[in-house]
Amino acid sequence: EADIYQTPRYLVIGTGKKITLECSQTMGHDKMYWYQQDPGMELHLIHYSYGVNSTEKGDLSSESTVSRIRTEHFPLTLESARPSHTSQYLCASTAGGPSYRFNNEQFFGPGTRLTVL
Partner 1 sequence: KQEVTQIPAALSVPEGENLVLNCSFTDSAIYNLQWFRQDPGKGLTSLLLIQSSQREQTSGRLNASLDKSSGRSTLYIAASQPGDSATYLCAVLPSNDYKLSFGAGTTVTVRA
The binding site for partner 1 (CB under 8 A) comprises 6, 31, 33, 39, 42-43, 45, 48, 50, 58, 88, 90, 92, 94, 96, 102-111, 113
Residue among 21 and 90 whose Cβ is closer to partner 1: 90
Give the shortest CB-41-to-partner 1 separation in angstroms: 8
Beta strands (DSSP E) in the chain are 4-7, 10-13, 19-25, 31-37, 43-51, 54-57, 65-66, 76-78, 87-94, 106-108, 112-116
Give the shortest CB-90-to-partner 1 separation in angstroms: 6
Under 8 Å between Cβ of 21 and 112: yes
Give the shortest CB-82-to-partner 1 separation in angstroms: 22
Question: Dmax of the chain from CA atoms?
Answer: 46
Residue among 59 and 79 whose Cβ is closer to partner 1: 59
| 98, amino acid identity | P
Residue among 2 and 18 whose Cβ is closer to partner 1: 2
